Structure 1
Amino acid sequence: MNASSSPATDAPSAWARFFDGDFWHSFRTSPMAIGAALVALGCMIVALFAGVIAPHNPFDLATLELSDSMLPPAWMEGGQAKYLLGTDEQGRDVLSALMYGARISLLIGGASVLVSMLIGVSLGLLSGYAGGRIDGFIMRVCDVMLSFPSILIALLIAGVGRALFPQAHDSLAFGVLILAIALPGWVQYARTVRGSTMVERSKEYVQAARVVGVPPIRIMIRHVLPNVLGPVLVLATIHLALAIQTEATLSFLGVGVSPTSPSLGTFINEGNKQLFSGAWWLVIFPGTMLLLIALSMNLFGDWLRDALNPRLR
């Protein structure tokens, strides 16, 4: 028998199994999932490559012209073709500013979600696997965190950070803002992972690992964690949209990122001051960009939750 026709070489690759699996079939047959993924991916690409795609650099003072300030969108009377979505009071191109602002919003939102996941998944694994007093203590901390509105906790942390470091560098200001958004968000991960871990720890493969003397930390990381990541990924997708909205809210209230590195929330705050002067484009376009990002993330998260639910297959 020829070695080239052996079962080992005829086995399908990982990519072939993926494209033949139920997950990919569910995605390609769901117009909502495809549309949400395309919109979210488009926003991310535009934000990440803003320095290449954007027609102008809105933060290069040498290129700004005050004579071009407060221009309406190009299709309105008084607009210019080189400023497709108009300009603000400083003469910055709104379209370019949206691309750069979306990058800041996605960066802070994504980093805060990663921090929340790291804290919540770690505490959830420990709580669900250890049980007893450790479980009780962690859950009581979660109850205390849930008794306060998350936006108030974020406002408190961001406000205290701004008061303690009024002249802080942008990187430090970003760190404080990421921490302010991440701390209220870890609770959902911890409670979700705890419930899944309590189910997994009683299964045979965990009992077998205990019998052969595998350390508990290795059991949690190598055996339990991969089996509880499904709900975590769904929660992270939805939480990303919420984190971006929280960042925009904090920036709108004046305790977010600095004006030298504005996000979408900062642009909405600045545009709100010019709203009654008729410059509606300074609020509508940043708000629409924020809506597209949040809505696409939420819709994709809803599909992902159903796709990973074995009861719905």
Structure 2
Amino acid sequence: MTTALARPAGWRARLRHALDSDLAHSFLTSPVAIAAALVALLCIGGALFAEVVAPHRPFDLATLDLADARLPPAWLEGGSAKYLLGTDDQGRDILSALFYGARISLLVGVASVLLSMIVGVSLGLLAGYVGGRLDAFLMRVCDVMLSFPSILVALLIDGVGRALFPDAHATLAFAVLIFAIALTGWVPYARTVRGSTMVERQKEYVQAARVIGVAPLAIMRRHVLPNVMGPVLVLATIQVASAIITEATLSFLGVGVPPTSPSLGTLIRIGNDFLFSGEWWITVFPGAMLVAIALSVNLLGDWLRDALNPRLR
């Protein structure tokens, strides 16, 4: 009985402590951060629960009717209340396609950032802690990677993957796309973590761990890594928006996700063919969705950077 009563009290204490923290105060006093979080939650929630919130199944061929193709938004002449934001050239509901397309864009963006973060943080820890020739070699690799535009590297890797696996399953196509975006995305994490690790390895707690015989790998994992993750989280938040835009660019160029699973970039490319013929809604609404996601995530990243850096308060 005592345990059952203490458990809710413990949760209330943790919640009160979280709301009283500097991070929560910074968020609650920033109208820009609150607005960006609401927009991001709406977009991400609509993407994750597309089957529930979408009024139609836009990529189910059995539900499409070509007689409903190119219908304008409901508030314009010729529009239908059945399709709030209109339809595309195949009769697909634009609003429903936005939810499903945003899901693909977010999936590729988040997965590529996670892969970049794992590789970059690992290499940055090694370079900063070990130093010497390993540090010099890894940093020269970073310099080489930074000398190539990321979009060109992604185009090259994606093109090579499609050439090697022309009949690949959609899952493999997604994996190639994620790898292509992450190939250059790990460099900022490696350089950031390397600099922070070089500072941390000179501090007393690291020296004490060395003296008592703690293995270097354990020192990096247990002691150094938690103290360098602050800048990494800020960088990851901003990189999500960049990865989503890169994926949209590749899909717009026709080398992104498979046509059977169109993302926001694919929807923009489809609508671009009809932009000058008057069907502006086919490309404008996917473009607005992409801008809303990227802008809200970038604003949250800027707020998180300022909140975690006491010098900027």
TM-score for both structures, normalised by structure 1: 0.95
Per the alignment, residue 4 of structure 1 pairs with: none
The one-character-per-residue Cα deviations of 1:158-194 (angstroms, maximum 9, x if unpaired) are 1111222222111000000000101110000000000
TM-aligned CA distance change 1:199 to 1:14, over 3 Å: farther
Pairwise CA distance, 1:257: 0.6
TM-aligned CA distance change 1:230 to 1:50, over 3 Å: same
Q: Provide the secondary structure at the position in 1 that maps to 2:82.
A: coil
Alignment of 1:218 onto 2:218: yes
Per the alignment, residue 93 of structure 1 pairs with: 93
Per the alignment, residue 259 of structure 2 pairs with: 259
The one-character-per-residue Cα deviations of 1:24-77 (angstroms, maximum 9, x if unpaired) are 100000001111111111110000000111000001111111110110111111
Q: What is the rounded CA distance, in whole Å, between the counterparts of 2:200 and 2:39 in structure 1? A: 36
Per the alignment, residue 123 of structure 2 pairs with: 123
Q: What is the rounded CA distance, in whole Å, between the counterparts of 2:163 and 2:254 in structure 1? A: 12
Q: Which amino acid aligns with 2:94?
A: V
Q: Which amino acid aligns with 2:81?
A: A
Q: Percent identity?
A: 75
Alignment of 1:140 onto 2:131: no
Q: Which amino acid aligns with 1:310?
A: P
The one-character-per-residue Cα deviations of 1:86-137 (angstroms, maximum 9, x if unpaired) are 0011110000001000000000000000000000000000000000011001
Q: Provide the secondary structure at the position in 2 that maps to 1:276.
A: helix
Q: Which amino acid aligns with 2:147?
A: S
Q: What is the rounded CA distance, in whole Å, between the counterparts of 2:281 and 2:258 in structure 1? A: 22
**What do you get for the CA RMSD once the two structures are aligned?**
1.4
Q: Provide the secondary structure at the position in 2 that maps to 1:115.
A: helix
Q: What is the rounded CA distance, in whole Å, between the counterparts of 1:169 and 1:23 in structure 2? A: 44
Per the alignment, residue 191 of structure 2 pairs with: 191
Q: What is the rounded CA distance, in whole Å, between the counterparts of 2:312 and 2:72 in structure 1? A: 49
Pairwise CA distance, 1:17: 2.2
Q: Provide the secondary structure at the position in 1 that maps to 2:179.
A: helix
Q: Which amino acid aligns with 1:182?
A: A
Q: What is the rounded CA distance, in whole Å, between the counterparts of 2:190 and 2:157 in structure 1? A: 21
Aligned residues: 305
Per the alignment, residue 234 of structure 1 pairs with: 234
Q: What is the rounded CA distance, in whole Å, between the counterparts of 1:130 and 1:305 in structure 2? A: 28
Pairwise CA distance, 1:201: 0.4
Pairwise CA distance, 1:312: 2.7
- What is the 5 A alignment of 1:29-40? 29-40=29-40
Q: Which amino acid aligns with 1:265?
A: G
Per the alignment, residue 244 of structure 1 pairs with: 244
Q: What is the rounded CA distance, in whole Å, between the counterparts of 1:302 and 1:180 in structure 2? A: 26
Q: Provide the secondary structure at the position in 2 that maps to 1:86.
A: coil
Q: Which amino acid aligns with 1:94?
A: I
Q: Provide the secondary structure at the position in 1 that maps to 2:237.
A: helix
Which moved further from structure 2: 234-243 or 166-175?
A: 166-175
Q: Provide the secondary structure at the position in 2 that maps to 1:92.
A: coil
Per the alignment, residue 25 of structure 2 pairs with: 25
Q: Provide the secondary structure at the position in 2 that maps to 1:106.
A: helix
Per the alignment, residue 5 of structure 1 pairs with: none
Q: What is the rounded CA distance, in whole Å, between the counterparts of 1:223 and 1:213 in structure 2? A: 14
TM-aligned CA distance change 1:254 to 1:83, over 3 Å: same
Q: What is the rounded CA distance, in whole Å, between the counterparts of 1:17 and 1:200 in structure 2? A: 28
Per the alignment, residue 3 of structure 1 pairs with: none
- What is the 5 A alignment of 1:1-313? 13-313=13-313
Q: What is the rounded CA distance, in whole Å, between the counterparts of 2:106 and 2:182 in structure 1? A: 14
Q: Which amino acid aligns with 1:133?
A: R
Structure 2 unaligned regions, length at least 5? 1-8
Pairwise CA distance, 1:16: 2.6
Q: What is the rounded CA distance, in whole Å, between the counterparts of 1:97 and 1:165 in structure 2? A: 28
Pairwise CA distance, 1:15: 3.0
Q: What is the rounded CA distance, in whole Å, between the counterparts of 1:41 and 1:191 in structure 2? A: 31
TM-score for both structures, normalised by structure 2: 0.95
Q: What is the rounded CA distance, in whole Å, between the counterparts of 2:191 and 2:183 in structure 1? A: 14
